């Protein structure tokens, strides 16, 4: 039998390996894009929604134009994975926002221009509050500040000795700060002098979420959550009114980091172990109803009779009266922001990748767009019909959203 012999060289072996690898990669290269269910299908097939992807996008169409982008200071030029936790605040035709590099900015919202900046002692990872020409905020090193909102000049600066991750509350002649150990400080808003403070409820040891519950005022009570899953209610003289344990202490994380939303009938809060509660404001926070497997550390959004809830990768809507689920949409991303509503859409930003615009009535995706700079750990903000978003790379985006005629259906 005749045969042909050939010497197998290292070059031949290398070529064979490369060819085999290409054959393995071809199916991946030809794989179809990962699509989402409609919100209607998602709620029907909740447990298997990630397995079946045959979504029809909403018939609605919107046009999203980038109006401008302002570059803020990054922590390090060499940082390959930057992040920003601070959330922009709008007041007096200005946007106020701090960055992790320890710089706080005042930005003209109409001209898209930096008006002033202020160097802080530490990184800024909390939202600011502006009132009566003064903007108040804190940083991770435990310093709190009061600056002129017009020119950024320092009014006063104090140290509380504990990181600030929550937006302060201003009421009458006082400003209230909640620290990372759940201490509530009451300061004179004009001088920064301490009036009183409460004891710590947390020792900052163990696993916890990098976020803080912002205090809100209800009658003569100041309410906020802590990392132990408690809703605290202090009187305006610093004495404890009541405490309600809501987070499951046996869970890996049980923080109550959402800002309480208070109506005459209900206090709405969410916990990190994915529960949403409606509490009776006149019965020391007694639970009226609860929703399971929704929510997380993000703030809730209440509009008229609908409660919007975000947590992990899921955005959901429920009736505010009874907590009945209306729709939910799993965006299949590592995490999403708190929701914001404007221009007849609900906006959320992914911690990596994109921001999404959804129909508030159906939950169907209307639009999505890639965020340059690795996504956003911040929360979106609407100014009129303009969407404002701070990316992890320190870019402050301004987008204009306009409704377009709906898609024409094929006959």
Question: Is residue 161 domain-resident?
Answer: no
CA distance 345 to 403: 10
Q: Is the pLDDT of residue 160 over 70?
A: yes
Listed range (33-37, 69-73, 117-121, 207-211) with the worst mean pLDDT? 33-37
Range of the structural domain that residue 381 is part of:
58-70+306-411
The structural domain count of the chain equals: 1
Residue 56 has pLDDT above 50, yes or no: no
Domain-embedded: residue 50: no
pLDDT at 80: 53
* Domain-embedded: residue 205: no
Mean pLDDT of 7-25: 56
Per the domain annotation, does 402 fall within a domain? yes
Residue 4: band (very low, low, confident or very high) from pLDDT cuts 50, 70, 90: very low
- What pLDDT score does 19 carry? 58
User: Over 90: is that where the pLDDT of 49 sits?
Assistant: no
Select from 127, 116, 240 the least CA-distant residue to 182. Answer: 240
* Rounded-to-integer distance, Cα 294 and Cα 127, Å: 24
- Kindly tell me if the per-residue pLDDT of 189 is higher than 80: yes
CATH of the domain at 326: 2.40.128.630
pLDDT for the residue 202: 66
Report, as an integer, the average pLDDT of 381-393: 91
> For 226-279, how does the pLDDT look when each residue is reduced to its tens digit (9 = 90+)?
989 999 999 999 999 999 999 988 888 889 999 999 999 999 999 999 999 999
Domain-located, residue 19: no
Query: Rounded mean pLDDT of 143-155?
Result: 97
For residue 42, pLDDT beyond 50: no
Q: 321: closest CA among 260, 393, 266, 262?
A: 266
Q: Report yes or no on 110 lying in a domain.
A: no
Chain centroid offset of residue 72 CA: 19
Phi, psi dihedral angles at 243 (to 5 degrees): -135, 140
CB 122 within 8 A of CB 102: yes
Q: Please, which pLDDT band fits residue 7 given cuts at 50, 70 and 90? A: very low
Task: Give residue 82's pLDDT.
Answer: 65
Higher pLDDT: 27 or 52? It is: 27
pLDDT band at 23 (very low <50, low <70, confident <90, very high): low
Q: For the residues 283-301, what does the mean pLDDT come to?
A: 94
Strand 386-390, strand 184-188: pairing: unpaired
Please write the tens of the pLDDT for every residue from 93-106: 899 999 999 999 99
* pLDDT given for residue 204 in this prediction: 53
Separation between Cα atoms, residue 220 and residue 98, nearest integer Å: 30
């Amino acid at each position: 039998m005749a045969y042909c012999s050939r010497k197998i060289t290292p070059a031949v072996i290398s070529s064979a390996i490369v060819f085999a690898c290409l054959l393995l990669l071809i199916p991946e290269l030809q794989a179809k894009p990962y699509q989402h269910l409609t919100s209607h299908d998602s709620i029907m097939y909740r447990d298997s929604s990630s397995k079946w992807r045959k979504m029809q996008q909403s018939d609605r169409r919107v046009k999203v134009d980038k109006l401008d982008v302002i570059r803020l200071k990054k922590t390090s030029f060499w940082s390959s994975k930057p992040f920003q936790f601070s959330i922009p605040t709008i007041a007096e035709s200005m946007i106020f926002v701090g960055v992790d590099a320890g710089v706080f900015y005042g930005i003209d919202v109409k001209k898209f221009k930096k008006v002033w900046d202020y160097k802080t002692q530490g990184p800024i990872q909390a939202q600011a509050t502006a009132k009566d020409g003064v903007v108040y905020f804190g940083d991770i090193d435990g310093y709190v500040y009061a600056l002129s909102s017009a020119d950024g000049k320092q009014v006063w600066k104090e140290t509380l000795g504990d990181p600030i991750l929550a937006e302060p509350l201003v009421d009458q002649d006082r400003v209230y700060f909640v620290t990372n150990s759940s201490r509530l400080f009451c300061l004179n808003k004009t001088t920064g002098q301490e009036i009183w403070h409460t004891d710590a409820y947390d020792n900052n040891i163990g696993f916890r979420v990098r976020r803080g519950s912002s205090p809100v005022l209800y009658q003569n009570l100041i309410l906020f959550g802590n990392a132990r899953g408690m809703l605290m209610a202090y009187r305006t003289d610093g004495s404890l009114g009541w405490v309600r344990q809501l987070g499951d202490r046996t869970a890996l994380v049980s923080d109550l980091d959402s800002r309480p939303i208070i109506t005459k009938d209900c206090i709405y809060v969410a916990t990190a172990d994915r529960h949403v509660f409606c509490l009776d404001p006149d019965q020391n926070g007694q639970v009226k109803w609860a929703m399971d497997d929704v929510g997380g550390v993000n703030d809730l959004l209440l509009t008229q009779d609908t409660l919007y809830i975000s947590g992990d990768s899921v955005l959901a809507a429920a009736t505010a009266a009874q907590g009945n689920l209306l729709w939910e949409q799993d965006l299949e991303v590592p995490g999403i922001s708190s929701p914001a509503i404007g221009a007849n859409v609900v906006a959320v930003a992914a911690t990596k990748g994109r921001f999404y615009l959804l129909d508030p009535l159906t939950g169907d995706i209307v639009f999505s767009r890639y965020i340059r700079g690795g996504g956003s750990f911040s929360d979106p903000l609407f100014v009129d019909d303009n969407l404002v978003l701070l990316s992890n790379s320190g870019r402050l985006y301004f987008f204009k959203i306009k409704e377009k005629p709906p898609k024409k259906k094929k006959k």
